Amino acid sequence: MWRRTPDWLIYGIIVALIYLNAQRVADQQDSPQPPPPEELGPMLPSDSPRDPTVLVELDEPESGLGTAFAIDKKGKWLTARHVVDSCDQVGLDLGQFRAIRVSADVDAEQDTATLTSNWSREPLPTDLFSQRQIGEYGYFFGFPQGKPGEAVGSLLGRHKLIVRGRYNTEEPILAWTEIGRTLNLKGSLGGISGGPVLDKDGEVIGIIAAESPRRGRIYTVAPRSLQDIIPDQNSQGRPIAVESYGVEADKYRRSRQIARVMCLVK
C-alpha cells in the first residue's frame, strides 16, 4: 500500500517536470509531413511460428511518461504495461498543470494495462475484428518525448514480441514501417507508448508497444489481444486522411480522450 502523500505535492512536481521537459509547447504541433500514396497488398496472414521476433529488454523501473486513451465512460483508460509496471504512483495529466492519481492493473500476459480513475472521457471507437491488409496505413497518436505528436506507418506484417528483464512475456504483435511523423520530431518516439493506433476510419486497432528507430519500425499490440479488454463501442470514428492526421490527433488530445500518463518511481 502506498504511503499517503499529499496529491497536490506529488503531482505538482510531476506536472512541473512534464512541462519543463516539453518546453511549454502548445497542443498544436508542426503539421506532420504527408506520407506517400497508400499501396495495399494481400490480407494479413494468420499467426505463424515463423513470424519474426522482436526482443525488448526492460531495465529497472524509473519515473517517466507515456500515453493512454479512454475506453469507456466510467473512467477506464488503456495504456501499455511497460509504461506503468512497477510504478509507485501513476497519474493522468489533465492539462493546465493539473493531474489526477489513477490505479493501474497490468496484464501478466501482454503489454497492456488498464487504468481506473474518477475522471471520464468519451471512449475512442474501435475496430478489433476486421481483417487487416498489408500496406494499409495506421496512425499513431500520443506524446512522443513527452510532447504532443503523431506518426503514420504502413502495415508490414505479424511479428512476435519477446520481453525480458523486469518481467517476461511473449505475444503476437503487428509491425509497421514508419513513413511520416510530426515535422521537426527527431529521434525516438519514446513517450508515445500506450497510445492508440487508428485506421483510416478513425477506429482503434491496437496499442503502441515498441519501436526500432534504426529500422524505422513501430510495433503494436495485436487487435485480438484487446477484444476482451475494450468494451464494444457503438460509435463510429472520424475518418483520417493522410493530409490531415495531425489535425485529428490534436482534436483527441484537446478533448483529453488521449492523455499523458505519468509514472512515479520513488
- Residue 79, C-alpha cell as written in the block: 495504456
Burial label for 264, CB within 10 Å (0-12, 13-18, 19+), is buried
Helices and strands (H and E) in the chain: how many: 3, 13
pLDDT of residue 32: 78
Q: What fold does the segment set 7-264 form as a domain?
A: Thrombin, subunit H (2.40.10)
- Residue 105, C-alpha cell as written in the block: 492493473
pLDDT of residue 95: 82
Structural domain boundaries in the chain: 7-264
Beta strands in 13-112 (DSSP E): 53-57, 64-70, 76-79, 89-95, 98-106
User: 215-234 burial string, b = 16+ CB within 10 Å, else e?
Assistant: eebbbbbbbebbeebbeebe
Q: Using alpha carbons only, what angle is made at residue 31 by residues 190 and 38, rounded to the nearest 5 degrees?
A: 85
pLDDT of residue 255: 95
- Phi and psi of 68, rounded to 5°? -140, 165
Measured in residues, the chain has a length of 266
pLDDT tens digits for the chain (266 residues)?
334 445 544 555 555 555 444 444 444 456 677 778 899 999 999 999 999 999 999 988 899 999 999 999 999 999 999 999 999 999 999 888 889 999 999 999 999 999 999 999 999 999 999 999 999 999 999 999 999 999 999 999 999 999 999 999 999 999 999 999 998 899 999 999 999 999 999 999 999 999 999 999 999 999 999 999 998 777 788 999 888 899 999 999 999 999 999 999 98
pLDDT of residue 8: 45
How far apart (Å, rounded) are the C-alpha atoms in residues 178 and 116?
31
Residue partners of 8: CB distance under 8 A and separation at least 6: none
